Structure formats: C-alpha cells, structure tokens
Amino acid sequence: MQETEDSILNQYELEFKLFGIDLEFTPEAVEYTAEKAENKKTGARALVSVWENILTDFQFELPGTNFSKLDVTRKLCERPKDELLKMLERSPFADFVENFKKEYGVELILDEDIQSYIEQSAHQNNVQISETLKKLFFGASA
C-alpha cells in the first residue's frame, strides 16, 4: 500500500495536492485500513473501497477551505464523517437536523440530554455519531 509508485496512498496524496492540501497518513491509519480491507477478503479492491469510504467526503468538502494539511489518523479512519464535521466546526447533530428537515420537512430538536445519550451510544457501539443518528431515526418520518 505504501511501497509502490502507483499506490492508493500516493494517488490520494497527489489528488489532494492538486487542491493545495498535504495528506499525511499515520502508520496506525494504514494498519487500520489494511485490517478492514483484509476482513473483506477481496484483495486490493478492498483497499480502494476502504480508503474511498474514508476520504470521499474530505475530497468534496476540503477544497476551497483554509485547510492546507490533512493528517489521516486511525481516529479519522474510524469516524470520518464525525471528524470532518469537527474540522469544519459543524456539529453532527446540526448537520443531521438540517438534512432531516430538507428531506422530510420536519424540524428535529435534540436537547443536550438527547445529544449526550446519542454520543454515549455511538461511543459504546464504536460507530460514528452520524451513523447512530441515522439508525435511531430510521423510519421516523412515518
């Protein structure tokens, strides 16, 4: 993943560099993605898929901002959406409420107790806050 000239990591570094963003991968991030890819049992295609799931939102959101460097850590790999929203100083709760209103025409109000409960649930289940919100509100528009 790191040794070849046309590795997936080099491709991402080049792509982000085109937008003036330096990408740095920590060894822990590389190890995490290798483990995730190995569990999929589809070889190199799994690596592409895992990195795509992690970095796609960053590819669309970071260009045009004041970010000139992105450190890809294990934490970022485990919770990419939450980390991106944190970088952009947007709350996963505000983002979800905004999208929910656009999609269903219903405005949600999530008080601090609810937000705390959702954060704890996400942490306990080792998933992103945004994913926990989706699961909790699945079918709620009905």
In tens, the pLDDT along 95-109 reads: 899 999 998 888 889
| Full-model pTM | 0.75
Q: Which domain holds residue 9?
A: 1-89
**What CATH code is carried by the domain that includes residue 68?**
1.10.8.60
First to last CA, the chain: 45
Q: Do residues 48 and 114 both lie within one domain?
A: no
Domains held by the chain: number: 2
Q: Between residues 1 and 96, which one has the greater pLDDT?
A: 96
Q: What distances in angstroms separate CA 139 from CA 81, 114, 117, 134, 135, one per listed residue?
A: 21, 18, 20, 9, 9
- Report the SS3 class of residue 42: coil
Residue 1 is predicted with a pLDDT of 58
CA distance linking residue 94 with residue 18, whole number of Å: 31
Q: Do residues 34 and 103 both lie within one domain?
A: no
Q: Do residues 119 and 56 both lie within one domain?
A: no
In tens, the pLDDT along 4-51 reads: 777 899 999 999 999 999 999 999 999 999 999 998 887 778 889 999
Q: What's the full length of the chain, in residues?
A: 142
Q: Do residues 100 and 52 both lie within one domain?
A: no
Q: Do residues 58 and 29 both lie within one domain?
A: yes
